[in-house]
A and B are shown apart, each in its own frame.
Chain A
């Protein structure tokens, strides 16, 4: 089953799903970073030219600025910004080690040094091809440093379930089946009405009812599963 995710197992037996980010998002992040560097570089260049240094000093400072923007910018931001340069932060991706841990100096420096190889023969041609052919969208630098670029986990919006009176399930359900019922009740308002009834009919072995009644019964089950109280929830007494 294709999932687009990596399921990492921690020693505690917890599965961490990581979603590697594909070439388009990463290209976008690079473009944003490039623009930021360009703007900052021009600004600094202007500042360097302002005090009227001799041409040698000006040239030296400019070279230093270019060097830092090219090599220090991604490393420093990734090491100190929890794997995110400003562009990556905006796009919503993050560099992590391939075991899910945050990256350190070794990984940050290696993957960015290898940019030179990925850049070959021109404009990241090699990097793009390796990214397209690798199953985790890694470019050469990522392979060497053992890093991944993954989507930052989004905060899940908690949706309000439709109210139902909590009701016990008629027979025990597996966790994934319970999730499916909750999902259905959560997403039912977004489905076309006819499709809602169709799915509710599919749940007949569970509810023993058909159509609208089955849908309402599923809502009751969902309320029972989440432990939601029937009508406007009264404030829980503080422990």
Chain B
């Protein structure tokens, strides 16, 4: 065993991570390991399938399961060589396999088989260490200590579940594809698995062959890396590797280094001296700033003990090094001045006390004994009730909308004024068309049209209950009227009339284009038909 050839990092790690390392190792050598495994596994499975009697077809996979520990040894053999950089071919592995079975085969096939879930950790004791009897017992006890066997056993339990999952997945996959397209049933094949004389009887063996053929090498490889980790931890493999490397480096350094090292030290010393001179020529800290700091004591520097110097030159070098190390540049001692807030807390508290003194006096027992709490409580409760009431009142529309009440429609008050025109019914003359024509003939054209328009709007708002708000423009009113026509709230003729009237009113009021007398007469006539003359 040459530890320098070790292909994995020997640093001790937690058991779970050591187990995970197994799959990395297995992935590197997957071809060899899996080919070797299947070269034994598949013929064995075929043999069992052919030889088992018809009535036991469902249970013949147990035989395969029972023989598995022996096949795991091939994986351990390949990986144990691979870990030290030796590549094993499939042929070599198969040829070596029978000789691996010599030790401990009886035990691993009899009473160990059902109870030792973590057998993978102990297999290398037989296969690789060649230990037997009492010695093997001791080795196992040492290897399994510190929770290593527990980890291996739990890993075995988990692997058993993984195998079951893969078996089940395979059966479901077949079921999905074999069931009819209308009714996909992943459990199709499970229904007839145990019925006599069906091809499904072969499924347990087939699926076990598949799942254990994948998980088996994984289990063996992971347990093997756990074993390696345990040994590296027990024997300090990583330390040995590092120390050996160190020794090799040292021996290769020592022989040719003597001549070189002297010239190197000289050039180094020169460089350091030059740097020191430069530093001396340009002092970097101004003297004034340093004035206060110079009074402070410097922290003393501790030096580790050294071995006695071998020759006078080393002693001289050490002296100059110490000198340099003690100089300004290397001591790294800095004096920084700055402002810092003083701790002020107690003062502030006092001040606070003074501020609230009047309140304390008022409430304290010294003053007249007022039942402060008894007074404040109802006051606060009253304030709270008022606040809640105010909030409800403020948001009454929102709440009304939430409750979906029809109060809103009834409670709607038509605006008193639209576009600066008074639309209250009581402000209108009783016979509108007559008044309009009278005003027109009187020469007050604007007043006549305005009266007709506001009378129309007033009728829309009050008789037909259109929701006209105070801020509406003529366009808004027109839109509201059209919506009302669409809703059937007012007749189509009324809508057309209002549209015509609005257009004429707008042209007159804003563009100074006045209608013919005939148009006005016609409008008045239509108005009378629609709304009636009087209120």
Q: Which residues of A contact B (CB under 8 A)?
A: 1-4, 19-25, 27-28, 121-126, 128-129, 132-133, 135, 137, 151, 154, 165-168, 170-171, 173, 176-177, 179-180, 183-184, 187, 190-192, 195, 199, 202-206, 224
Residue of B nearest to A208 (CB): B307
Q: Is the CB of A2 within 8 A of B165?
A: no
Q: Is B23 part of the contact surface with A, judged by Cβ < 8 Å?
A: yes
Q: In the complex the two chains form, what is the Cα distance from A1 to B9 in whole Å?
A: 6
Q: In the complex the two chains form, what is the Cα distance from A22 to B173 in whole Å?
A: 25
The A/B interface has a contact count, at CB < 8 Å, of 146
Known A-B contacts A22-B20, A166-B305, A170-B307; A184 and B239 likewise in contact (beta carbons under 8 Å): yes
| Residues on the A chain within 8 Å of B155, using CB | 24
Known A-B contacts A2-B24, A3-B8, A128-B165; A180 and B246 likewise in contact (beta carbons under 8 Å): yes
Q: Is the CB of A195 within 8 A of B235?
A: yes
Residue of B nearest to A27 (CB): B158
Known A-B contacts A21-B20, A24-B19, A187-B239; A206 and B168 likewise in contact (beta carbons under 8 Å): no
Q: Is the CB of B305 within 8 A of A199?
A: no
Q: Is the CB of B168 within 8 A of A171?
A: no
Q: List 14 A-B contacts (CB under 8 A).
A: A21-B16, A22-B16, A22-B19, A121-B169, A122-B169, A122-B173, A125-B173, A135-B27, A183-B242, A184-B243, A187-B236, A202-B247, A204-B247, A206-B250
In whole Å, how far is A208's beta carbon from the nearest beta carbon of chain B? Answer: 9
> How many chain B residues touch A (Cβ–Cβ < 8 Å)?
53
| Residues on the A chain within 8 Å of B170, using CB | 121, 125
- A1-B8, A125-B166 known; 16 new pairs, CB 8 Å cut-off, are A4-B13, A20-B20, A24-B155, A27-B158, A27-B162, A121-B186, A122-B171, A132-B23, A135-B24, A137-B20, A180-B239, A184-B239, A195-B236, A199-B236, A202-B240, A205-B251
Binary interface profile of B, 247-268, with partner A (CB < 8 Å = 1, else 0)?
1001100000000000000000
Known A-B contacts A24-B19, A168-B305, A183-B238; A123 and B165 likewise in contact (beta carbons under 8 Å): yes
Binary interface profile of B, 218-249, with partner A (CB < 8 Å = 1, else 0)?
10000000000000011110111011111100
Partner of B243, one of A19, A121, A203: A203
Residue of B nearest to A2 (CB): B8
Q: Is the CB of A125 within 8 A of B169?
A: yes
Q: Is the CB of A123 within 8 A of B246?
A: no
Q: Is the CB of A151 within 8 A of B28?
A: no
Known A-B contacts A2-B9, A21-B20, A121-B186; A191 and B307 likewise in contact (beta carbons under 8 Å): no
In whole Å, how far is B165's beta carbon from the nearest beta carbon of chain A? Answer: 5
In whole Å, how far is A106's beta carbon from the nearest beta carbon of chain B? Answer: 27
Q: Is the CB of B243 within 8 A of A180?
A: yes
| Residues on the A chain within 8 Å of B218, using CB | 132
Q: In the complex the two chains form, what is the Cα distance from A4 to B247 in whole Å?
A: 28
Residue of B nearest to A202 (CB): B243
Q: Is B25 part of the contact surface with A, judged by Cβ < 8 Å?
A: yes
| Residues on the A chain within 8 Å of B529, using CB | none
Q: Is the CB of A168 within 8 A of B169?
A: no
Q: In the complex the two chains form, what is the Cα distance from A133 to B217 in whole Å?
A: 13
Residue of B nearest to A166 (CB): B304
| Residues on the B chain within 8 Å of A132, using CB | 23, 214, 218
Q: Is the CB of B7 within 8 A of A125?
A: no
Q: Is the CB of A24 within 8 A of B307?
A: no
| Residues on the A chain within 8 Å of B162, using CB | 23, 27, 128
Q: Is the CB of B165 within 8 A of A206?
A: no
Partner of A122, one of B7, B8, B168, B234: B168
Q: Is B172 part of the contact surface with A, judged by Cβ < 8 Å?
A: yes
Q: Is the CB of A191 within 8 A of B9?
A: no
| Residues on the A chain within 8 Å of B16, using CB | 21-22, 24-25, 151
Q: Is the CB of B242 within 8 A of A177?
A: yes
Residue of B nearest to A239 (CB): B299
